[in-house]
Amino acid sequence: MDHRAGPYAEFEAFVAGAAGRLLHVAVLLTAEADPASGAECPVARRLLAGALARTYAHWGRVRGDDPYDDTRRELCVAYARTARRHPAGTGILARLSPPERLVLVLRVYEGVAEEVAAAQLGLTPERVRVLCNRAVSAMRPASGRGAEGAA
């Protein structure tokens, strides 16, 4: 297979620049053990590999779209579909439910607009706001417990 052609070179440059952050997003979602301590994060890697493959499959067609947004959407959809199969790990967001993790990562970490996040996750904007507030208060370092108990 000739991978030297233009689209592949573009794709390779995109992956070189974006894969680190995308893998971080994937690890946040799967809440696998901290990769800084040498953990492998196989689920996050698998999710990212699948999302990148689907991005490459329509690489030529979506010139207008940002490939980063596109891959992140694929990643989130793939995680949402398979989240139930994977037990929570020991990552930062392990105490949150999968929808809370998705909303928190998209809204707070990635700064995606409420409406866009809602459309991507198939939720209403109100539901996204509720999940985001709940996740933020659960993640607050000190006051998290009290807020969780009250909710």
Partner 1 sequence: MSMPDRKEIQVRELLEGPHPVVPAGLAASAAERGDRLLRRRRAAGRFGWTVLFAAVAVFAVWALLTHPWTVPPSGVSPPLEGW
What residue ranges bind partner 1 (CB under 8 A)?
1, 3, 8, 11-12, 15-16, 19-21, 23-24, 27-28, 35-36, 41, 44-45, 48-50, 52-59, 92-93, 104-105, 108-109, 133, 135-137, 139-141
Toward partner 1, which CB reaches closer, 60 or 115? 60
CB of 31 to partner 1, least distance (A): 12
Residue that is written with structure tokens 């994977």 in the block: 86
Specify the residue, 122 or 151, whose C-beta has the smaller distance to partner 1: 151
- How big is the chain by its Cα radius of gyration, in Å? 17
Which of 6/122 has CB closer to partner 1? 6
Angle between helices 42-57 and 67-82 (to 10 degrees): 130
Residue 4 or 84: which CB sits closer to partner 1?
A: 4
Q: Would you tell me how many other CB atoms lie within 10 Å of the CB of residue 105?
A: 24
What's the rounded Cα separation, in Å, for the pair 25 and 43? 12
In the complex, least distance from residue 119 CB atom to partner 1, rounded to whole angstroms: 21
Instruction: Please state at what angle helix 67-82 crosses helix 114-121, rounded to 10 degrees.
Output: 50
